[in-house]
């Protein structure tokens, strides 16, 4: 917690400020923000202070980890503040203390130079301190100058003081706790392991290195790797932490594992068909990246081959691969192996104490007992956690009993240690534990609890008990368990013989059944592991205690034609009965026409039989009082459903794709707890009984019930309702009163001509009316609507009332060919994020869009617009503008204002921009120039934002503009015909103000190239920079997706950012060598990557022209004159002139704008245009610019 001056303890943060200036405002905000983050902060609360700083305060400064200096107008008028400043800088130099300056309503240059109001206050202080030595005053002045040069915050860049204080507090928190909390909470003895592995990794060298982390199960290998990754991941272009390799390879096979791995690493969802051959585009992409890969729990060398671990050409220079395994033999081919050993005695005792006593050290009376437990566990973290949790809140006598119990296992291993916790469970808890260990690891917690409740187990409290004993964990509401504990549980079950999952054992029992097997309680058979299962008709009568039965395919593609089950030893060809204790009956491809229910299954909770051969479930009524879910999806022979009246707890019914099902019995009305009813693709279903009585029904799906003519009566509480592609002829009045509707998907009706009035929503609603071929007017909708989709309708106009739907986030009118205009009221939709008007071929104009302040995506492909939306570049959040194939588009007005790009509200993917004017062949030259000029301004804003917000990943952020044409933008300084440009560079061009590059390429499509939704256009620029020491090569590439068009002519593509596949230090290297880099070359490549059903096709695209541009940070013109143009150095200025005269354009150079970006430019003529605060000045010749400045020097 934050602290006041009365505390004598050490502090995280020391605040130095002038109380009269900032105490009631910014300082209090910052103190509160630090307090909320539990950062211990010193703030001096005394309002009256003497002239001399106290020794106590000097000691507090020394003991603080971070000092924050809040420079305000009168800061330098305080002798106390100035002495604090001296002490803070002394601690920074001698003790490595971190110092953060904040310039609160003062200019940093005024602090640096002691000018302005700040300088006047300092001058007054000096006047009052004439008795002090000149040296003391000079030290104050130097300290102010030195502190002002430190990296800090300027309050003028923030609209609200609270925003600034929160950002400062966040940065301080990161400095104090560099490891992420998710990785570091409650960890002991990790740091030394992490440091040693980092030293083995040798991150800076450019070779690809593979490191192994080896140790026994439960020793902490994965945890160490998680902390390691949290500390070094930002030094790599991308990283992938692939967990549970052993388990996943068993579940989905090596091919599935290979597909998952390269999908995660490349960010592209792919399916790989071959174990030893990678798609070229994936390999090319990855070998340009410096990647960090962690493969957890590797147990087979074949897994390493499948994941290309030892393929030297697969990953980029500097990549690091970390393998975690219990088997040292698997790691025999790695570069280095790090063995994780047990915790030392001190750390082990601390970890045990934290689990047993919730404190770092054991109480006095437990010290000797704790040391005995710690010795017994031999430093294994998992054993310490389990035993510590087991002994928590136990008396010393109980500890002694537990330790005496351990004496029976003098040579025990971790398995036996873990079993101590199991032995302390009661019989019900043991059964729950074994069920999870053998069958339900990774399953949804609530679903498992329902099954366990079927046999009256107190499952909820049983699971809490297992969590308390550290036997299970809950991750994303799924039951997880450490591998060692799973092995321990399965070993116990194997010895008892009461739970079976081995396919050979199960097949033997199912085929013979010569004698009763009363011990078996659970049977899970993966049918992928066996070709045929032979069933004895009486088999289940010999397993009377069976509670859990599951026949399933983990690999459905391994299914054989015909039934996988064969009945032996009897003429009936049918099993005789099922155990009446079943709680779970999951039988995929059930081979019989009905279930043999001679008696009720009173414990049955889930009945799941997808793709069964059943024609009916059973005859007559059966009592299934605990049944919660019934799933017979894809049972194409199912014709008759049972009487539901004795299944009153049923909550979910799925009859998806039951193509022979004709009717639903009226007894469904008895299901008062029914929550979900899925009947999609029941093509023969002709009617539904009234569902109005089902008060708890939330989800109803009637998709593709094409013979359903009459709309059913439905309850008011429906939340999600889908009824597309049905044969409905009329609507029910119940659709008018759906109070809680969140999602309505309806459309593609041939027989319906209108949509009913829909009202009374309590929640935001997703309304999908796609495919109403006869819908001419918008239906009356009252309430909160979040999404409206009217694709493919015959509407000619939207009513002005559309502006009343203030909660609307998405509006789609794709393919509404009669739509001619939108009402001006659409600008009232301040929350609208997506507007889709593709294929509205008669839409000729749009109203002003300035009010759509939340708009992120605007799709206008194939419209009849003559002018592009005039405010598109001014919309602050617009990320995607698409005007594909707008053949009538002629003009584009330049934006009057380009808003700065703010810190993203969501992920860094908010920094992805695509502005697409493909095949807009009638754009006039002014329009093209306006588009390009506005794009440049957006490029600059994005570059500045990326450099301000250092956290942003440059591989994620990009901005692409494409339009038909064959001319390089005028503002581009360097260009060339063909696909490469080589040029000399003026000295000093890569100075501290340099931000990045903008690239341009004109592509010539020799044959029509269609790029579809799942296809990509890939542009790449390979750049090489030469200095006296050699080359520095970097690749800049980007995938352009979702440009669904057939390119009909030459197109200009220019872009900033994207998938930089370069050493992370490229910009630093360029800046460090700014006066030594003298040559650069850029080579451009382009190809279309297209997928069909079977393969990937790569089509090379010709690069006709290319070019690049350097962009710079904002600053004053004077700075530009000095540092960019070299005006203060005649030699450099001469070099610059000479270099520019040699370039293709006779006078390449640089220009800058007042309060905007500094742009490297090279036009030979001077052009005056009207200026604007956010508009660039037009460029002028380097010679004129330089000579003018020489006169001033």
User: How far is 1098 from 1086, CA to CA, in rounded Å?
Assistant: 10
pLDDT at 1171 over 60: no
What are the catalytic residues?
84
Task: Give the pLDDT confidence score for residue 886 in this predicted structure.
Answer: 92
pLDDT (tens digit per residue) in 759-809 = 655 556 677 777 666 667 777 676 678 888 888 888 888 888 888 888 889
More confident call, 1164 vs 253: 253
By C-alpha distance, which of 1134, 1152, 770, 767 is closest to 991? 1152
- Name the superfamily (CATH) of residues 181-339: P-loop containing nucleotide triphosphate hydrolases (3.40.50.300)
DSSP 1122: I
DSSP state, residue 308: T
Residue 13: CB atoms within 10 A of its CB come to 26
Q: What is the mean pLDDT of residues 685-700?
A: 92
Half-sphere exposure (Cβ direction) of 247: Cα atoms closer than 13 Å: 13
Domain assignments of the chain as residue spans, ordered by start: 3-176, 181-339, 345-423, 427-496, 499-512+521-592, 602-685, 925-1188
User: Do 181-339 and 427-496 come out as alike in CATH topology?
Assistant: no
> Lowest-pLDDT range, 724-728, 846-850, 1050-1054?
724-728
pLDDT of residue 675: 96
d(CA 985, CA 276): 45
Confidence of residue 285 (pLDDT cuts 50, 70, 90): confident
Cβ contacts of 360 within 8 Å, gap of 6 or more: 350, 353, 354
What pLDDT sits at residue 307?
87
pLDDT confidence bin for 523, thresholds 50/70/90? very high
Q: Which of 247-256, 481-490, 1153-1162 has the lowest mean pLDDT?
A: 1153-1162
Out of 168-177, 334-343, 356-365, 701-710, least confident range? 168-177
Of 1152 and 29, the structure prediction assigns the larger pLDDT to 29
Weakest mean pLDDT among 258-262, 715-719, 1073-1077: 1073-1077
- State yes or no: pLDDT of 1168 exceeds 80: no
What is the C-alpha end-to-end distance of the chain, expressed in Å?
56
- Distances in Å between the Cα of 734 and the Cα atoms of 182, 711, 716 are 48, 9, 7
- Please check the confidence at residue 378 and state whether its pLDDT lies above 50: yes
* pLDDT above 70 for 526: yes
Q: What are the tens digits of pLDDT across the range 932-975?
A: 888 888 887 887 777 766 555 555 677 888 888 888 887 788 89
User: Which pLDDT value is given to residue 301?
Assistant: 86
pLDDT at 977: 93
Residue 379 has pLDDT above 70, yes or no: yes
φ and ψ at residue 397, rounded to 5 degrees: -65, -40
| 716, 696 Cβ separation under 8 angstroms | no
- Report helix, strand or coil for 999: strand
What tokens appear for 221 in the block? 């290998």
Closest-CA residue to 966 (of 1047, 1039, 887, 1053): 1053
- Hey, is 176 helix, strand or coil? helix
User: What confidence tier does 671 reach under pLDDT thresholds 50, 70, 90?
Assistant: very high
Among 473-482, 876-885, 1043-1052, name the one with the lowest average pLDDT.
Answer: 1043-1052
Mean pLDDT (the chain, rounded): 79
**Cα distance between residue 938 and residue 260, in whole Å:** 36
Tell the residue number behind the tokens 């305000």, with chain if given: 72
* Integer Cα distance of 975 and 1160 in angstroms: 13
The 3-state DSSP class for residue 388 equals: helix
Domain 427-496 fold:
Arc Repressor Mutant, subunit A (1.10.10)
The closest alpha carbon to 637, from 563, 745, 583, belongs to: 563
- For 40-95, how does the pLDDT look when each residue is reduced to its tens digit (9 = 90+)? 889 876 544 444 567 888 889 988 989 999 999 999 998 889 999 999 999 988 88
Mean pLDDT of 865-890: 86
Contact 816, 794 (CB under 8 A): yes
- Asked if CATH classification 3.40.50.10140 holds for the domain at 3-176, the reply, yes or no, is yes
Query: Can you say whether the dihedral through the CA atoms of 841, 844, 847, 849 is positive or negative?
Result: positive
Cβ atoms within 10 Å, residue 1138: 11
Highest mean pLDDT among 3-12, 453-462, 941-950, 983-992: 453-462
Give the whole-angstrom CA distance, residue 128 versus residue 134: 13
Alpha helices in 324-473 (DSSP H): 345-356, 367-377, 381-391, 396-406, 414-423, 427-435, 445-454, 459-468
The predicted structure's pLDDT at residue 754: 61
pLDDT tens per residue across span 527-574:
888 878 888 888 888 888 999 999 998 877 666 666 677 766 555 567
Going by the DSSP 8-state scheme, the letter that residue 639 receives in this structure is -
Query: pTM for the complete prediction?
Result: 0.53
Q: Are 1124 and 1150 in contact (CB under 8 A)?
A: yes
Say how far apart CA 642 and CA 609 lie, in whole Å.
Answer: 15
1056-1066 pLDDT, tens digit each: 876 554 444 56
Mean pLDDT in residue range 720-748: 78
* DSSP letters spanning 185-250: TT--S-HHHHHHHHHHH-SSSSS-EEEEEE--TTSSHHHHHHHHHHHHGGGSSEEEEE--HHHHHH
Residue 478's pLDDT is 93
Q: How far is CA 790 from CA 545, 793, 801, in A?
A: 56, 6, 16
The contacts found for 746-753 with CB under 8 angstroms, 24 or more apart, are 746/721, 746/722, 747/771, 747/772, 747/791, 747/792, 748/724, 748/772, 749/773, 751/727, 752/728
CB under 8 A, 24+ apart: contacts of 456-463: 457/428, 457/431, 457/432, 458/428, 459/432, 462/428, 462/429, 462/432, 463/432
């Amino acid at each position: 917690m934050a602290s006041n001056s009365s505390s004598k303890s050490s502090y995280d943060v020391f605040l130095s400020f002038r109380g009269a200036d900032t105490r009631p405002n910014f300082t209090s905000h910052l103190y509160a923000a630090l307090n909320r983050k539990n950062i211990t902060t010193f703030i001096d609360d005394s309002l009256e202070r003497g002239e001399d700083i106290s020794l106590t305060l000097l000691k507090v400064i020394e003991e603080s980890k971070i000092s924050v200096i809040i420079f305000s107008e009168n800061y330098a008028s305080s002798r106390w503040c100035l002495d604090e400043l001296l002490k803070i800088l002394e601690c920074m130099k001698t003790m490595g203390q971190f110092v953060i300056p904040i310039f609160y309503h003062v200019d940093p240059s005024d602090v640096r130079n002691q000018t302005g109001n700040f300088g006047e206050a300092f001058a007054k202080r000096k006047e009052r301190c004439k008795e002090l030595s000149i040296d003391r005053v000079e030290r104050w002045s130097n300290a102010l100058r030195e502190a002002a040069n430190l990296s800090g915050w300027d309050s003028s860049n923030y609209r609200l003081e609270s925003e600034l204080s929160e950002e400062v507090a966040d940065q301080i928190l990161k400095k104090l706790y560099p490891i992420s909390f998710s990785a570091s909470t409650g960890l002991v003895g990790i740091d030394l392991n992490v440091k040693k592995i980092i030293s083995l990794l040798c991150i800076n060298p450019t070779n690809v290195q593979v490191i192994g982390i080896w140790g026994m199960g439960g020793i902490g290998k994965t945890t160490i790797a998680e902390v390691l990754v949290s500390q070094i991941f930002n030094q790599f272009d991308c990283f992938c932490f692939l967990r549970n390799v052993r388990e996943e390879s068993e579940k989905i096979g090596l091919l599935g594992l290979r597909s998952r791995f390269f999908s995660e690493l490349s960010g592209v969802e792919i399916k790989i068909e071959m174990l030893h051959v990678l798609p070229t585009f994936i390999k090319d992409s990855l070998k340009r990246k410096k990647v960090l890969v962690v493969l957890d729990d590797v147990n087979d060398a074949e897994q390493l081959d499948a994941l290309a671990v030892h393929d030297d050409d697969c990953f980029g220079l500097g990549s690091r691969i970390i393998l975690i395994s219990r088997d040292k033999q698997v790691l025999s081919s790695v570069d280095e192996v790090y063995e994780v050993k047990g915790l030392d005695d001190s750390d082990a005792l601390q970890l045990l104490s934290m689990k047993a006593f919730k404190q770092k050290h054991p109480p006095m009376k437990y010290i000797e007992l704790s040391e005995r437990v710690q010795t017994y566990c031999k430093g294994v973290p998992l054993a310490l956690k389990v035993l510590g949790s087991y002994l928590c809140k136990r008396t010393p006598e109980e500890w002694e009993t537990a330790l005496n119990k351990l004496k029976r296992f003098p040579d025990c291993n971790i398995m036996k240690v873990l079993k101590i916790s199991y032995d302390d469970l009661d019989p019900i808890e043991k059964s729950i534990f074994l069920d999870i260990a053998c069958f339900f690891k990774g399953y949804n917690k609530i679903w498992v609890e329902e099954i366990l409740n079927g046999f009256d187990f107190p499952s909820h409290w049983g699971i809490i008990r297992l969590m308390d004993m550290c036997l299970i964990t809950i991750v994303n509401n799924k039951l997880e368990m450490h591998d060692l504990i799973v092995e321990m549980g399965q070993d116990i079950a194997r010895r008892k013989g009461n739970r079976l999952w081995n396919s050979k054992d199960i097949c033997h029992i199912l085929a013979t059944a010569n004698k009763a097997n009363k011990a078996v309680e659970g049977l899970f058979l993966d049918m992928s592991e066996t070709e045929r299962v032979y069933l004895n008709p009486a088999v289940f009568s010999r397993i009377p205690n069976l509670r859990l039965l599951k026949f399933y395919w983990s690999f459905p593609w391994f299914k054989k034609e015909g039934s996988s089950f064969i009945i032996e030893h009897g003429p009936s060809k049918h099993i005789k009965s099922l155990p009446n204790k079943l709680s779970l009956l999951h039988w995929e491809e059930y081979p019989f026409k009905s279930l043999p229910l001679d008696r009720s299954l009173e414990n049955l909770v889930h009945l799941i039989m997808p793709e069964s051969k059943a024609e009916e479930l059973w005859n007559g009524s059966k009592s299934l009082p605990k049944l919660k879910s019934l799933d017979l999806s894809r049972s194409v022979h199912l014709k008759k459903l049972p009487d539901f009246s004795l299944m009153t707890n049923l909550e979910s019914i799925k009859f998806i794709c039951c193509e022979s099902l004709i009717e639903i019995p009226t007894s469904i009305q008895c299901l008062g707890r029914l929550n979900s009813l899925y009947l999609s693709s029941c093509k023969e279903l002709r009617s539904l009984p009234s569902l109005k009585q089902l008060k708890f029904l939330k989800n109803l799906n009637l998709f593709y019930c094409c013979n359903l003519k009459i709309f059913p009566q439905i309850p008011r509480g429906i939340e999600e309702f889908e009824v597309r592609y049905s044969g409905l002829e009329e609507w029910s009045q119940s659709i008018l009163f759906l109070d809680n509707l969140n999602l309505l998907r309806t459309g593609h009706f041939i027989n319906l001509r209108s949509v009913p009035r829909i009202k009374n929503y309590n929640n935001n609603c997703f309304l999908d009316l796609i495919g109403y071929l006869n819908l001419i007017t918008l239906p009356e909708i009252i309430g909160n609507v979040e999404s409206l989709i009217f694709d493919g309708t015959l509407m000619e106009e939207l009513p002005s009332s559309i502006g009343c739907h203030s909660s609307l986030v998405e509006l789609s009118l794709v393919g509404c060919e009669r739509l001619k205009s939108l009402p001006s009221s659409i600008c009232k939709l301040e929350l609208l994020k997506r507007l889709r008007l593709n294929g509205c071929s008669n839409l000729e104009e749009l109203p002003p869009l300035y009010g759509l302040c939340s708009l992120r995506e605007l799709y206008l492909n194939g419209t009849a617009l003559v002018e592009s939306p005039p405010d598109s570049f001014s919309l602050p959040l617009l990320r995607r503008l698409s005007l594909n194939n707008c053949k009538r588009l002629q003009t584009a007005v330049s934006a009057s204002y380009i808003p700065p790009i703010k810190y993203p509200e969501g992920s860094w993917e908010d920094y992805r921009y695509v502005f697409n004017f493909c095949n807009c062949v009638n754009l006039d030259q002014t329009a093209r120039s306006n588009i390009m000029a506005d794009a440049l301004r957006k490029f600059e804003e994005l570059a500045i934002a990326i450099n301000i917000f250092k956290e942003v990943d440059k591989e994620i952020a990009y901005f692409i503009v494409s339009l038909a044409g064959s001319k390089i933008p005028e503002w581009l300084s360097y260009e060339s015909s063909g696909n490469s440009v080589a040029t000399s560079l003026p000295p000093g061009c890569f100075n501290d103000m340099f931000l990045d590059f903008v690239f341009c390429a004109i592509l010539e499509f020799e044959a029509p190239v269609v790029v579809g939704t799942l296809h990509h256009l890939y542009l790449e620029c390979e750049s090489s920079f030469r200095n006296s020491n050699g080359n520095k090569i970097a690749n800049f590439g980007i995938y352009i997706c979702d440009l669904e068009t057939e390119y009909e002519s030459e197109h200009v593509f220019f872009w900033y950012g994207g998938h930089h596949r370069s050493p992370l230090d490229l910009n630093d290297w360029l800046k460090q060598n700014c006066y030594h880099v003298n040559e650069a070359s850029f080579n451009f490549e382009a190809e279309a990557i297209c997928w069909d059903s079977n393969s990937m096709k790569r089509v090379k695209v010709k690069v006709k022209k290319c070019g690049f541009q350097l962009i710079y940070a904002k600053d004053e013109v004077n700075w530009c004159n000095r540092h960019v143009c070299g005006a203060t150095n005649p030699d450099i200025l001469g070099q610059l002139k000479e270099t520019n005269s040699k370039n293709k354009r006779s006078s390449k150079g640089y220009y800058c704008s007042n309060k905007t970006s500094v742009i490297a430019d090279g036009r030979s003529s001077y052009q005056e245009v009207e200026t604007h605060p956010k508009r660039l000045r037009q460029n002028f010749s380097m010679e004129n610019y330089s000579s003018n400045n020489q006169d001033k020097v």
